[in-house]
Structure 1
Amino acid sequence: MTAQGTKENPWKLKTPPLTSEYEMYKDEKDGKEILVCTVGKTVLHYDYRCIADLHAMLKEHGDWMELGSADEQKPAKERTVEAWGRSADNPVGGWYGLKKGFRGRFGMYVPPLLEELGLAEVEHNPRNNRMRAK
Structure 2
Amino acid sequence: MSTAQGTKTDPWKLKTPPLTSDYEMYKDEKDEQAIIVCTVGKTVLHYDYRCINDLYAMLKEYGDWMELGSADEQKPAKEGTVEAWGRSSENPVGGWYGLKKGLRGRFGMYVPPLMEALGLAELEHNPRNNRMRAI
For the aligned pair, the TM-score class normalised by the smaller chain equals over 0.9
* CA RMSD, 1 decimal: 1.0
Structure 1 position 3, deviation (Å): 5.9
Structure 1 position 11, deviation (Å): 0.1
CA distance in 1, matches of 2:33, 2:5: 19
Q: Cα deviation per residue 1:80-117 (whole Å; 9 max; x = unaligned)?
A: 00000000000000000000000000000000000000
Q: Which residue of structure 2 lines up, in the alignment, with residue 67 of structure 1?
A: 68
Q: Runs of at least 4 residues of structure 1 off by over 6 A? A: none
Q: Which residue of structure 2 lines up, in the alignment, with residue 33 of structure 1?
A: 34
Structure 1 position 78, deviation (Å): 0.2
SS where residue 33 of structure 1 aligns? strand
For structure 2, list consecutive stretches of 5 or more residues without a partner in the other structure. Answer: none
Report the TM-score, using the length of structure 2 for normalisation: 0.97
Q: What is the percentage of aligned positions where both structures have the same residue?
A: 86
Q: Which residue of structure 1 lines up, in the alignment, with residue 103 of structure 2?
A: 102
CA distance in 1, matches of 2:134, 2:97: 19
Q: Which residue of structure 1 lines up, in the alignment, with residue 44 of structure 2?
A: 43
For structure 1, list consecutive stretches of 5 or more residues without a partner in the other structure. Answer: none
SS where residue 112 of structure 2 aligns? helix
CA distance in 1, matches of 2:110, 2:5: 17
SS where residue 113 of structure 2 aligns? helix
Contact 2:65–2:133 (CA under 8 A) maintained in structure 1: yes
Aligned length in residues: 133
